[in-house]
Amino acid sequence: METLILDGKYQASCYEDEFRAEVANLKARANNATPVLATILVGADPSSATYVRMKGEACRRIGMDSRKIEMSEQTTTEELLATIDELNADENVHGILLQHPVPAQIDERACFDRIALEKDVDGVTCLGFGRMAMGESAYGSATPAGIMRLLEKYKLELSGLHAVVVGRSPILGKPMALMLLNANCTVTICHSRTKDLERHIREADLVVGAVGIPEFIKADWIKDGAIVVDAGYHTGGVGDIELAPLNGRVKALTPVPGGVGPMTINTLIAQTLTAGTKAIK
């Protein structure tokens, strides 16, 4: 079987070409106004700093602006909430990204939920999650929404498939499961307490690996002809699924790197562009 490679890097770059034209049109009709993404980085974690930098660069590549806010490792919940309040009130900011994770003393959930719904372009608020789950309009959590956009781009028929999502984090596994349910999949959610994980995965027509452990999901647990989505990324360029033996045996797979990662950032900028376009008019 020839395996379709779900090339997120390529699709993201095609989307960027479209977005660049949209931003140019918006600027032309709105007196050079451009959507602005505010990024908040708390502390000095090098991976988080890299992710924030990449998000700012993606904005610039398509002609949007980003505003970088850096806060110290000792920041309190109250200080972070006050910063978010300022950004919510700033009409020149259209999207807010609070880089996860924040230092342990901060109530991350309270800070996520302080982001105004119309600026929640990373899809992290409970309200946005609830609206998405109910099929109402909301910006989706960027990684699972990026996965859905990638599956749609390749016109993969999802209706009726048995999807098994391994992982139930608030930003990835849980919204992923709801998005697949809304796309008419029958969904099983697995996590660290799941008994006989391998048996569940063997039954999957579509597997999403969102575990955070390198190559934790073994290739021989996955049935022939399945669709395989690996959301993981670890040093050495491996994901959460043992992908190499699957090439030639499954219907489609996301490579690591170059699959889910570029679509995550692309979804963040897509949603910022939408938010900015609505606000600027």
Binding site membership: which residues? 167-169
Q: Are 209 and 240 in contact (CB under 8 A)?
A: yes
Beta strand pairing status for 36-42 and 95-98? parallel
DSSP-derived letter for residue 238 is B
Residue in 37, 121, 166, 252 binding ligand NAP, rule: CB under 6 A: 166
DSSP-derived letter for residue 228 is E
DSSP-derived letter for residue 234 is B
Binding site as annotated, residues for NADP(+): 167-169
Distances (CA, A) of 267 to 30, 208, 281: 23, 18, 21
C-alpha closest to that of 260 among 3, 12, 85 = 12
The structure tokens 């660049």 sit at 20
What part of residues 15-34 is at the interface with ligand NAP (CB under 6 A)?
none
Q: Is 237 left (phi over 0), alpha (psi -120 to 50) or beta?
A: left
Residue 271 is a catalytic residue: no
Cβ proximity to ligand NAP, 87 vs 268, nearer residue:
268
Q: How far is the CB of 232 from ligand NAP (least distance, A)?
A: 3
The structure tokens 């090339």 sit at 7
- Read off φ and ψ for residue 8, nearest 5 degrees: -65, -35
Size of the site for ligand NAP (CB under 6 A): 25
Q: Which of 55, 65, 120, 230 is catalytic?
A: 55
Cβ proximity to ligand NAP, 111 vs 190, nearer residue:
190
Q: Does 192 bind ligand NAP (CB under 6 A)?
A: yes
Angle between helices 142-153 and 260-280 (to 10 degrees): 100
Q: How far apart are CA 164 and CA 144, in angstroms?
A: 14
Cβ proximity to ligand NAP, 121 vs 280, nearer residue:
121
Q: Does 266 bind ligand NAP (CB under 6 A)?
A: no
User: Terminus-to-terminus CA distance in the chain, angstroms?
Assistant: 48
Q: Does 267 bind ligand NAP (CB under 6 A)?
A: no
Residue 99 is a catalytic residue: yes
Q: Does 147 bind ligand NAP (CB under 6 A)?
A: no
Q: Does 193 bind ligand NAP (CB under 6 A)?
A: yes
Q: Does 144 bind ligand NAP (CB under 6 A)?
A: no
Q: How far is the CB of 279 from ligand NAP (least distance, A)?
A: 26
Q: Does 87 bind ligand NAP (CB under 6 A)?
A: no
C-alpha closest to that of 263 among 184, 152, 155 = 152
Q: Does 8 bind ligand NAP (CB under 6 A)?
A: no
Contact letters (x/-) for ligand NAP, 226-255, by CB under 6 A? -----xxx------x---------------
Instruction: Using CB under 6 A, list all residues that contact ligand NAP.
Output: 143, 166-169, 171-173, 190-194, 197, 210-213, 231-233, 240, 260-261, 264
